[in-house]
Amino acid sequence: MDEGEGVADARDPAADARDPAADLRDPGAELAAVVAMRRLADRMEDAAVEKAMRAGWSWSDVAQALGVTRQAVHKKHAKRLIEAGVSLRRRR
Amino acid sequence: MGRTYVDSVLVRAAEEARGRGARLTEAEHLLLALAAEAEGDAPDLLSPAGLDRRAVERALAREFEDGLAAAGVSVADRELLEPRGSARNPSDMGESGRRVLEVAMTLARKRDLGPAHILLGLLELKVGTVPRAFALAGVDVDDLKARTLAVLDERGKTD
């Protein structure tokens, strides 16, 4: 179908969107899979961090286990956990 | 003059984004905001296409699971598939939301923009969550687009 390399001949992305069952060679499906996994990872992180903090883990412990800085995990989760009524350990 | 319709729909879309834990306001949040409207062009156009609020939520959930399935991921804990609110407001409008507004803005001046313009912007999207969700839900996008254009025509869309 695609004769030559012209940009004008590029496949219409809409054709892919119409066929969501298309396999991962379709960049639209591949990117959607990335979005879905990222969202799932975010939700898993929220749930797991909350569980750890309720179990009395420190921010440092959570940060070490997640492989991020303590500041990053605090910034990302502190407000939500406080609003959820989780009592957080003061330091360490 | 009070706030325009666009201002109000953007605020409601940002609330939808926050309610789903999204960092950016995206096209799907505009769609959710439209589908939550009780009267006017939004329900008049969306309902015959089978897109009430619940149906839109279901379509988005299905798109999410379809993405996971494409990656070979299955989730044992169904609760992880449920949208979860965030304590933070979205920081910005994502590219998909911008595209919707760009299309809408080509059709009318800002203060004249209504739900049908936003909907047309959503229907013109070629990639991303919204067209995928429409496809998975079996929405006849072309028919919905034709009906939306007819409504805009009736309204006498410019000047």
Q: What is the ipTM of this complex?
A: 0.87
Total domains, chain B: 1
Q: Is residue A88 part of a domain?
A: no
Beta bridge partners of B92: B24
Q: Which of A20, A40, A47 lies at the smallest CB-CB distance from B132? A: A20
Total domains, chain A: 1
- What mean pLDDT is predicted for residues B13-31? 96
Q: Is residue A51 part of a domain?
A: yes
Q: Which of A14, A31, A36 lies at the smallest CB-CB distance from B64? A: A36
Which residues form the domain of B143? Answer: 5-155
Cβ separation B64–A43 shorter than 8 A: no
Two tokens at A30? 């591949």
Q: Is residue A4 part of a domain?
A: no
- B50-79 residue pLDDT tens: 999 999 999 999 999 999 999 999 988 888
Q: Is residue A45 part of a domain?
A: yes
Please report the pLDDT score of residue A26 as a whole number: 87
Intervals of chain A under pLDDT 70: 1-25, 89-92
B80 in contact with A, Cβ within 8 Å: yes
Q: Which residues contact B34 (CB under 8 A, 6 or more apart)?
A: B9, B42, B46, B115, B118, B119, B122
Instruction: Report d(CA B87, CA B99) in Å as an integer.
Output: 26
Please say whether the dihedral angle defined by the alpha carbons of residues A72, B79, B128 and B47, taken in this order, is positive or negative.
Answer: negative
Which residues form the domain of A55? Answer: 12-83
- The CATH number assigned to the domain holding B15 equals 1.10.1780.10
